[in-house]
């Protein structure tokens, strides 16, 4: 008997396919977490207002969110709208449990144009930076000091300038931080320069701002002052009378 092509195909297919009993059972999906994210031990978020001191004119606003992880490291996501000068920064910074910088990213728009984006990695006493913008790609590498911080220009990146301040010694102490090139000249790539200044602790103060009342430590540097609070060294207020500028915590919440 000659089998038709259709019958032959069905017969061969039946032999090639496993029986129903041989088919693997679908894997049981693991139950998803329905509670807080177990990577995060706590979080905080808030907003700042940028104002002129003399007439309280609003110059800009900033939104930030902090995550603290199980190993003690922290990540800060920040976005500011400095509409007074038509500039806008978006940044992410990560520090270790001692608040020493690990890596950072920032992008910068000014006068309606993209100035650049930068990725920075700190590792084993070195800084490696890659900047991309209208001038193409720029690489920058430096040996870092033993103690330093970084400023991405949104105010929330200034939280960790004081992590290495010696509170037992007190008095004026050297401060070093990397600052992004933040001018409006599109011909200058977004790189960093190391700035050295002095800072001193001025004691504890209970400070009331729109976000609430906070127990703070006040630091001064030249004509400027900063009030920091809590285990994450949150900036509550910054003031520079010489430049007629102040930056104040407007809203604040914490969890879980």
SS3 content of the chain, % helix, strand, coil (to 5): 10, 55, 35
Alpha carbon distance 112, 223 (integer Å): 32
Which of the 8 DSSP states describes residue 244? T
At 170, is the secondary structure helix, strand, or coil? Answer: coil
pLDDT in tens, 148-165: 999 999 999 999 999 999
Q: Is the dihedral of CA 50, 235, 144, 78 positive or negative?
A: negative
Tens of pLDDT, residues 30-50: 789 998 999 999 999 999 999
Residue 5, pLDDT > 70, answer no
Mean per-residue pLDDT of the chain: 91
Shortest CA distance to 148 belongs to which of 115, 185, 192? 192
Q: Are 43 and 255 in contact (CB under 8 A)?
A: yes
At residue 28, the 3 state secondary structure works out as coil
115, pLDDT greater than 70: yes
pTM: 0.85
Cβ atoms of 75 and 93 closer than 8 Å: yes
Task: Indicate whether 230 pLDDT > 70.
Answer: yes
Q: What is the reported pLDDT for 14? A: 46
Q: Which secondary structure element, helix H or strand E, spans residue 153, and what is its range?
A: none
User: Comparing C-alpha atoms, which of 54, 75, 62, 55 is closest to residue 248?
Assistant: 62
């Amino acid at each position: 008997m000659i089998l038709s092509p259709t019958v032959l195909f069905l017969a061969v297919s039946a032999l090639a396919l496993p029986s129903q009993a041989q088919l693997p059972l679908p894997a049981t999906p693991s139950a998803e977490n329905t509670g807080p994210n177990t990577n995060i031990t706590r979080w905080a978020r808030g907003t700042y207002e940028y104002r002129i001191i003399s007439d309280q004119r609003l110059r800009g606003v900033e939104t930030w969110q902090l995550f603290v992880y199980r190993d003690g490291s922290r990540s800060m996501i920040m976005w500011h709208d400095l509409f007074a000068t038509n500039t806008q920064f978006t940044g992410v910074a990560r520090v270790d449990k001692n608040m020493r910088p690990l890596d950072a990213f920032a992008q910068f728009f000014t006068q309606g144009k993209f100035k650049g984006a930068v990725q920075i990695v700190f590792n084993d006493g070195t800084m490696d930076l890659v900047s991309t913008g209208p001038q193409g790609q720029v690489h920058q590498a430096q040996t870092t000091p033993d103690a330093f911080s970084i400023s991405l220009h949104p105010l929330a990146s200034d939280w960790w300038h004081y992590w290495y301040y010696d509170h037992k010694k007190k008095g004026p102490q050297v401060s070093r931080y990397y600052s992004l090139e933040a001018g409006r000249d599109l011909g200058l790539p977004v790189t960093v320069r190391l700035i050295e200044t002095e800072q001193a602790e001025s004691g504890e103060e209970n400070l009331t701002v729109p976000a609430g009342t906070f127990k703070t430590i006040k630091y001064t540097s030249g004509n400027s002052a900063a009030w920091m609070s809590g285990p994450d060294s949150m900036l509550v207020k910054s003031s520079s009378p010489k430049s007629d500028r102040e930056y104040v915590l407007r809203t604040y919440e914490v969890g879980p």
